[in-house]
Structure 1
Amino acid sequence: MSGADHVVYVLECADGTLYTGYTTDLERRLAEHDAGDGAKYTRGRTPVTLQHHERYESRSAAMSREYEIKQLSRRQKERLIGLE
C-alpha cells in the first residue's frame, strides 16, 4: 500500500444520525454502506452521505483518531464536519 491508505470517515445517515468508521478503501466502503452491507448500525439508515474524512499513514494512527471522534459529543462532531 502507498502512504495515507488508512481512512477515518464520518457519515450522515438518512435518519440524521452520524456514523464514524475506518477503512482502507473509502469508495468501496461507502458503496457497502449504501447497499446495506456495511456496518450493522448503518443498515436501514441508508442512504448515507460522506461528511468528513481524514487520511493517515498507519492503521494505528487512523484507529486512534476513529476512537477520538467516537468519543466526541454530537455537537463536537457537527463542528468537526462543518454542520454547525
Structure 2
Amino acid sequence: MIACYILRCADLSYYVGSTRNLEHRLEQHASGMGSAYTAKRLPVELMWFAEFDRIDDAYLLEKRIQGWSRAKREALIAGRFNDLPALSRKKFPRAAG
C-alpha cells in the first residue's frame, strides 16, 4: 500500500509523511527509527492516511499538507472536508480608513 499519512506526536505536534508500506513505516516510527523528528516525540499515533496507486501522488499530497496550518490539518483528520477551502484563505488585517 502506498500512503500519505499524518501522525500525532506526544507533544501534540503533527508529522506528515508518505511511504510504500504504511505498516512497516509505523513500526519504524514507534521504535524511534522512523525519523529524527518523531524519535524525539514518542509515542506517535496514526491520525489519518490516504492510499494511492503511485508513490508520486502520495509524495505530492505529503508536501502539500506539510504547508498547511494546524487548523487545516485537524479539519482533514476530522473529515471536515467542507472546511478546507476556508482554511486555505489568508487573513489580512483591514486597512484603517
**Same-fold call, TM cutoff 0.5:** yes
Q: In 2, distance between residues paired with 1:70 and 1:51?
A: 15
- Structure number with larger C-alpha Rg: 2
What corresponds to 1:75 in structure 2?
A: 71
TM-superposed deviation, 1:59: 1.2
Cα distance change on mapping 1:61 and 1:37 into 2, 3 Å = same
Structure with the bigger percentage of helix: 2
2:36 maps to a residue whose letter is K
What corresponds to 1:58 in structure 2?
A: 54
Alignment root-mean-square deviation, CA: 1.5
Q: Which residue, out of 21, 31, 44, partners 1:25? A: 21
Aligned residues: 80
1:56 maps to a residue whose letter is F
In the alignment, structure 1 segments of 5+ residues that lack a partner are: none
Q: In 2, distance between residues paired with 1:83 and 1:56?
A: 18
What corresponds to 2:6 in structure 1?
A: 10
Spell out structure 1 runs of 4+ moving beyond 6 A.
Answer: none
Percent identity, aligned pairs only, is 36
Mapped contact 2:19–2:55 kept (Cα < 8 A) = no
TM-superposed deviation, 1:60: 1.2
TM-score by length of 2: 0.78
